Structure 1
Amino acid sequence: MITRRARPEDAEAMAALLNDIIAIGGTTAHQHPKSVEAVGVDYIDGPEVQTSVVAEDGGRIIGWQSISLYQGESHIGTFVQPGIQARGVGAALFALTREQAQGAGITRIAATIRADNAPGLAYYARIGFRDTGSDPDFALDDGRVVGRIHRHLDL
């Protein structure tokens, strides 16, 4: 596995991975598929994107991570191919993300995780994020209340 900066030509594979995760449900607050174009603007090279990295294995993208400005804060999103979570992909992504974030002068990163996403909560805790708030009433479009946990990491 290698990690590297995301490039515009990665948008299709990144969108496919994200949309697979959305379709499965349970580990992302995203509820609707994202187009290749939206992934490019929102996570690779749009005006709010601060860092964007991918993990490749055998030339195939198996995970990606991006930090973008949202409401004045640097927010992180992490997406790893279903079935291979907790095998080091996220840690490898974050090592490069941290390096890029520090190089960009980012001093604090925010993460918002669904309260029912046990793997996501464990991942962000493992890499040093700490709880700073919650939104217990956060509901999905279908009305299910899943809550959200807000975490931050000071670099």
Structure 2
Amino acid sequence: MKTRAASADDAAEMGRVLREIIDHNGRQRPSDVDFVMGRYIADPTSIQCTVAIDEAGNVVGFQSLKKAVAGNPYDTPEGWGIVGTHISPKVHRQGVGKLLFAATREAALQAGLEKIDAYIGADNSSGLRYYDAMGFRTYRTPEGIVQKVCDL
């Protein structure tokens, strides 16, 4: 597997990954190309969106890194990074998340970030374990959510 910056050409495959996650966990979320473009690839607060590509050239996961601005929907402190991770269940436990976070961490350091926030549903045990494994620690627990922070 390898990683690279996401482009508009990846939007449909990134949407497919989101639909595979929806099929796996039942959590509804938008997954169309317009949503992927606006939320991950062309978001004005985006620092980097990274895709993981398998040997056949297919997108199997992606991770977005944004800069927290005033009034962001996660109540993340302004100036921190905000990370979002989406990995196809077909490749869980194959190192995709670790590979993605290595690229994201490097982008965060290059952007001068000191902290990255992850906003995870309290019932998302695999997401919570993932962020713990990447070195995040819980710093806030709003209703139904666990917010973790990684100090860079």
Same-fold status (TM-score > 0.5): yes
Alignment map for 1:54-93 (pairs within 5 Å): 54-57=51-54, 58-70=56-68, 71=72, 72=78, 73-93=80-100
Alignment map for 1:88-127 (pairs within 5 Å): 88-127=95-134
In the comparison of the two structures, how many residue pairs are matched?
A: 142
What amino acid sits opposite 1:52 in the alignment?
C
Q: Which runs of 5+ in 1 are unaligned?
A: 138-146
Q: What is the CA–CA distance in structure 2 between the aligned matches of 1:77 and 1:32, rounded to whole Å?
A: 13
- SS of 1:128's partner is coil
- After TM superposition, the score normalised by the length of structure 1 is 0.84
Q: What is the CA–CA distance in structure 2 between the aligned matches of 1:54 and 1:83, rounded to whole Å?
A: 15
Counterpart residue number, 2:4? 4
Q: What is the CA–CA distance in structure 2 between the aligned matches of 1:112 and 1:17, rounded to whole Å?
A: 19
What amino acid sits opposite 2:121 in the alignment?
R
Q: Deviations over 1:41-88 (max 9, x none)?
A: 211122111111011011000110001234234211101111321220
Q: Which runs of 5+ in 2 are unaligned?
A: 73-77
Contact 1:42/1:48 (8 A) holds in 2:
no
Counterpart residue number, 2:22? 22
Moved over 6 A (4+): none
Q: Which moved more, 1:117-126 or 1:68-77?
A: 68-77
Q: What is the CA–CA distance in structure 1 between the aligned matches of 2:2 and 2:12, rounded to whole Å?
A: 19
Contact 1:15/1:35 (8 A) holds in 2:
yes
Contact 1:64/1:78 (8 A) holds in 2:
yes
Contact 2:81/2:108 (8 A) holds in 1:
no
Q: What is the CA–CA distance in structure 1 between the aligned matches of 2:15 and 2:141, rounded to whole Å?
A: 28
Q: Which moved more, 1:78-87 or 1:115-124?
A: 78-87
- After TM superposition, the score normalised by the length of structure 2 is 0.86
Counterpart residue number, 2:46? 49
Q: Deviations over 1:96-125 (max 9, x none)?
A: 111111111122110011111111111100
The CA RMSD measured in Å over matched residues stands at: 1.6
What amino acid sits opposite 1:131 in the alignment?
T
